[in-house]
Amino acid sequence: MVALTVACDPQRDETFVFDEMSYTPSETVFKLFAPENAKVFVVVEGDSIEMQRKMASADSCPFYKATVEGDLKGKTYEFVVDGQSSPGVFAKAVTVNGKKGVVVDMRDTNPEGWKSDRHVWRPAQDMVVYEMHHRDFSIAREDAKYKGKFLALTEPWAIEHLSALGINAVHILPSYDYGSVDETRLDKPQYNWGYDPVNYNVPEGSYSTNPADPLCRIREFKQMVQALHKAGIAVILDVVYNHTYDIEHSNFQRTYKDYYYRRTHPQPLPNGGEKGDLGYSNGSGCGNETASEQPMMRRFMVESVKYWVNEYHVDGFRFDLMGCHDITTMNTIRQALDEINPDIFIYGEGWSAGACALPADSLGMKANIPQMPRIAAFSDDLRDALRGPFSDDTKPGWFDPKEENLKESIKAGIVGMIAHPQVDYAQVNYSKEPYALEPTQMMAYVSCHDDMCLVDRLKASIPGIQEKELIRLDLLAQTAVFTSQGVPFMLSGEELLRTKQGVHNSFESPDSINQLDWRNKERYPEVFDYYKNLIALRKAHPAFRMGKAELVRQHLEFLPTEESVVAFRLKNHAGGDAWQDIIVILNADREAQMISIPEGRYSVVCCDGKIDQQGLGEVNGNRVQVAPQSALIIHN
């Protein structure tokens, strides 16, 4: 890896923070991290002011500073470094489409009652995460006042839906300022997931009611957080520090050329010489990859997440392509957030989208999760065992009667990808060793925004599947997710039997593909009820979320079954549960199955597509029948 080095160590140099604009009514101070011998200006409403290079001490980071007297509130500014202009890398407020910075007193952006807003933090094992896109969620909702906006999540219908479903955290797809939607043309429908960051520390303008007003997006984001917090729902931000939309126009590149990106090695040739040039590495699959190991990039990430926590009261973070970031950076972020609150939840994609310029064993990959305590990674092991591999839509995974050898992957997902005496990792589909030290380091899921949603996947992999079977398998798959000792995660709309018409990568598909069809709530009430009752069952019973690997090894025991059935017992008041023993049986077979269980008298709480904690009947003896393609949950 070749990277530009700067003679400074931000670990030692506490004087520099990315406070590029700090406002008081009498003066505004501008600062910028930029190359040592650059010509740096700040241009305030057309007035160019040369910035002076500063160093706190001989080995501290060079930065440039200018103090402008007078009240600059509301004025726009740009930094110009060797002729390249940008709003800087840490703008707090911007003009439409994020082109220029705006001088702002952040106190002016606080909605009424903001001071009394409190974070929603809970231990990781208690979280139920709902991944959503602002536009998907509300654009087709007839009674929504703020369709596709942050404010939709302040509306009673939205809060009531989420509360009734019982999720307690929303993971919102990129909500920082991104580039792919033109904020000046919102009269035309435009759609993007937003994985193309422009200004990392400002909310996206198109989700506000007026992107031309720099304060509006900030205030409305905070109103959204406030409304969710009032309902006890945590807000998790999807953060995409691993790449920018492009290099040429990026604020990183325009303030400090080539500092923030990794470059590739030229490859040595056998007979001498080299092949290839010093190009930009592309581990993100998006044309570039940032260099988290660079001290100031690392510091940028740390300050950015802290800023979202402190200024916007965000409660947790999902790291896009965490496998592009180095382990040290992820642990530094964990430590910085611990100082605020250890329950700030961090998880990420434990992979990259291409080869990075750093060795894989130094990166935030799933296999390296043991080196990143209290950071979780998505389990594609469980996901693909349940619904078939990412690489082949025609394969139905565990639901294929011909498919063998997926049971261990599902069992690994049930225990939270920890070491367990009854799980043989040699037979697990991807992870040949347990990757989690604690079950809360695993995200349990069967679908997310990426790739097909569950309904589409079932349709693609089981040709001619009828609605009845589709619903059975949908509910069965989610039962595995929500009875896993990992942290359960669901894609928004799955509770409404969502379809994206078979589109995988719907990142820029129209609303007709991405929107939730709210009419499905009346069409399939049994689906919503099952999801709701399943979540309620998990929340009511600590046995399903013991949180500690040692407790899971002591209290979770698998029962012997055929390949098409996974059965486990949560025994002896697991996790302090009121119920003595709980038995969960997941039957993927098209036929009913008889399963041997420890002799006893049990109450049934989940059976054949229905869940009722008060009981659906009783079972006596040492054998129990499980209906086809469904889950049975009983307790004594």
Q: How far is CA 320 from the centre of its chain?
A: 7
We find the least distance from the C-beta atom of residue 223 to Ca ion, in angstroms, to be: 19
Residue 303 interacting with Ca ion (CB under 5 A): no
We find the least distance from the C-beta atom of residue 228 to Ca ion, in angstroms, to be: 22
Q: Are the C-beta atoms of residues 114 and 137 closer than 8 Å to each other?
A: no
Candidates 150-158, 176-184, 455-463, 522-530; binding stretch for Ca ion (CB under 5 A): 176-184
Candidates 128-136, 169-177, 489-497, 557-565; binding stretch for Ca ion (CB under 5 A): 169-177
- From CA 382, how far away is CA 497, in angstroms rounded? 20
For Ca ion, the closer CB: 20 or 177: 177
Active site annotation includes 320: yes
Q: Give, as ranges, the residues between 133 and 152 that touch Ca ion (CB under 5 A).
A: none
We find the least distance from the C-beta atom of residue 199 to Ca ion, in angstroms, to be: 8
For Ca ion, the closer CB: 177 or 343: 177
Residue with smallest beta-carbon separation from Ca ion: 177
We find the least distance from the C-beta atom of residue 240 to Ca ion, in angstroms, to be: 13
We find the least distance from the C-beta atom of residue 459 to Ca ion, in angstroms, to be: 34
Candidates 77-85, 177-185, 188-196, 505-513; binding stretch for Ca ion (CB under 5 A): 177-185
> What phi and psi, each to the nearest 5 degrees, are found at residue 317?
-140, 140
Q: Are the C-beta atoms of residues 473 and 628 closer than 8 Å to each other?
A: no
- Report the alpha-carbon angle 552-341-132, nearest 5: 75
We find the least distance from the C-beta atom of residue 197 to Ca ion, in angstroms, to be: 9
- From CA 387, how far away is CA 177, in angstroms rounded? 34
For Ca ion, the closer CB: 180 or 362: 180
Size (the chain), residues: 636
We find the least distance from the C-beta atom of residue 98 to Ca ion, in angstroms, to be: 5
For Ca ion, the closer CB: 87 or 364: 87
What 3 state SS string does 527-591 have?
Answer: HHHHHHHHHHHHHHCHHHCCCCHHHHHHHEEEECCCCCEEEEEECCCHHHCCCCCEEEEEECCCC
We find the least distance from the C-beta atom of residue 573 to Ca ion, in angstroms, to be: 51
Candidates 201-209, 214-222, 378-386, 622-630; binding stretch for Ca ion (CB under 5 A): 201-209
Contacts of residue 48, defined as CB under 8 A and 6 or more positions apart, other chains included, come to 41, 42, 80
For Ca ion, the closer CB: 180 or 331: 180
Residue with tokens 């092949």: 275
From candidates 20, 177, 196, 408, binder to Ca ion by CB under 5 A: 177
For Ca ion, the closer CB: 41 or 207: 207
Residue 100, both tokens? 């220029």
> What phi and psi, each to the nearest 5 degrees, are found at residue 409?
-65, -40
For Ca ion, the closer CB: 217 or 472: 217
Residue 30, both tokens? 């501008």
DSSP 221: H
For Ca ion, the closer CB: 211 or 323: 211
Q: Give, as ranges, the residues between 205 and 234 that touch Ca ion (CB under 5 A).
A: 205
- From CA 5, how far away is CA 12, in angstroms rounded? 16
Candidates 132-140, 172-180, 185-193, 508-516; binding stretch for Ca ion (CB under 5 A): 172-180
Using DSSP's 3-state secondary structure scheme, residue 223 falls into: helix
Q: Give, as ranges, the residues between 606 and 635 that touch Ca ion (CB under 5 A).
A: none
Which string of x and - marks every residue 519-538 that binds Ca ion (by CB under 5 A)? --------------------
Candidates 151-159, 197-205, 392-400, 443-451; binding stretch for Ca ion (CB under 5 A): 197-205
Catalytic residue among 117, 177, 320, 438: 320
The kind and range of the H/E element at 299 are helix 295-312
Contacts of residue 483, defined as CB under 8 A and 6 or more positions apart, other chains included, come to 414, 538, 544, 584, 631, 633
Active site annotation includes 403: no
- From CA 500, how far away is CA 520, in angstroms rounded? 13
Catalytic residue among 349, 495, 557, 577: 349
**Residue positions annotated with a catalytic role:** 320, 349
Judged by the rule CB under 5 A, the positions of this chain that interact with Ca ion are: 177, 205
